[in-house]
């Protein structure tokens, strides 16, 4: 992977390698949580396969996003840290950046949509991040982020279009592979949510390097299944709208340019999950796995529970990626039990 260029907030669009994920894991050791790989007899019997749940909702700040944020920000030198960082996010990347900034001795300003869950806003504020609101339906967070970076001299930390971010997220996949090996298992498929595609790009890279036959499936909100449609058309597709799903954490306009370089060749398929399916998955995770997850974080579990990804007679690893959910939304899920 080419050296990161930070002077003008530029990142060379060169995807990371499996070795970069290993180096990211070394950097994150003792800082990030080695999240558990869970099993459920109820889940296995219901789906007719062997399912392993990678519980990234138990990661520091409540989602996998801390991995990539810390791997990126911890590489800044003292002069860059003095300038601070700027990021945009609906909440999970925001919290990861705010936490990584405090832990590495810099400051963070975060652009968050006005409809972001309050739990995520409070998470950013807990870590000392400064929140700036924007309207995701009418304003471009990318343009706003670039303008603030140029005006204030801050380092832009994008949510997925960065090789160090992707490599950091890929450590969740590397951990899952190690844990599967410890259990004497190999994955026929790994299922992961996809917004901009940073997590699934890193996780897919780790799994494909370990075993090229492992299938990689993207789970997305219905109406925002740009990865699924991009696979079908062979080019990056754009969603028609920017709002309209409870899975706020994984609503993005189109697959990332950098992430798509990996995902275009790594993905086996995509699954679009409805709001009801996401709520059902949240309820199932609480009742049978004893974990709390948010709608977007439950998308991959929703995809397998709803039958969108083949599981019968196979071993499948599913990432539950975030647990930052408001009480009202979680209540909607529990009402379905």
Give the residue numbers marked as catalytic.
Answer: 65, 90
**Residue 105 zone, left/alpha/beta (φ > 0; ψ -120 to 50; rest):** left
3-class SS at 128? coil
Cβ neighbours around 183 below 10 Å, total: 13
* Cβ atoms 194, 250 nearer than 8 A: yes
Take residue 52 and report the two structure tokens written for it. 């392993």
3-class SS at 149? helix
* Cβ atoms 228, 220 nearer than 8 A: yes
3-class SS at 209? helix
Q: What do you get for the CA distance between the two ends of the chain, in Å?
A: 47
Sheet strands (E) in 138-254: 155-156, 189-193, 215-221
């Amino acid at each position: 992977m080419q050296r990161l260029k930070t002077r003008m907030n530029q990142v060379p669009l060169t995807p990371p390698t499996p070795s970069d994920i290993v180096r990211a894991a070394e950097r994150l050791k003792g800082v990030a949580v080695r999240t558990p790989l869970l099993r459920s007899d109820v889940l296995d019997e219901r789906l007719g396969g062997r399912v392993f749940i990678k519980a990234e909702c138990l990661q520091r700040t409540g989602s996998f996003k801390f991995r990539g944020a810390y791997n990126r920000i911890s590489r800044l030198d003292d002069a860059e840290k003095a300038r601070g960082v700027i990021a945009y996010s609906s909440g999970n990347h925001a919290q990861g950046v705010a936490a990584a900034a405090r832990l590495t001795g810099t400051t963070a300003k975060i652009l968050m949509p006005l409809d972001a869950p309050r739990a995520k806003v409070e998470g950013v504020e807990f870590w000392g991040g400064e929140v700036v609101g924007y309207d995701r339906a009418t304003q471009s967070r990318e343009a706003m982020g670039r303008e603030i970076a140029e005006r204030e001299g801050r380092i832009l930390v994008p949510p997925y279009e960065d090789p160090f971010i992707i490599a950091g997220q890929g450590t969740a996949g590397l951990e899952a592979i190690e844990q599967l090996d410890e259990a004497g298992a190999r994955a026929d498929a790994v299922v992961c949510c996809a917004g901009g595609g940073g997590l699934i790009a890193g996780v897919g890279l780790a799994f494909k390097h370990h075993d090229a036959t492992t299938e990689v499936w993207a789970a997305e909100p219905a109406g925002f299944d740009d990865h699924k449609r991009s696979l079908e058309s062979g080019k990056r597709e754009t969603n028609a709208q920017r709002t309209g799903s409870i899975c706020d954490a994984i609503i993005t306009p189109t697959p990332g340019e950098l992430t798509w370089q990996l995902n275009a060749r790594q993905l086996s398929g995509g699954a679009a999950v409805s709001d009801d399916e996401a709520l059902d998955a949240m309820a199932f995770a609480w009742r049978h796995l004893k974990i709390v997850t948010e709608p977007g974080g439950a998308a991959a579990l929703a995809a397998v529970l709803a039958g969108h990804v083949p599981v019968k007679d196979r071993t499948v690893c599913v990432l539950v990626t975030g647990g930052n959910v408001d009480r009202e939304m979680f209540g909607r899920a529990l009402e379905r039990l």
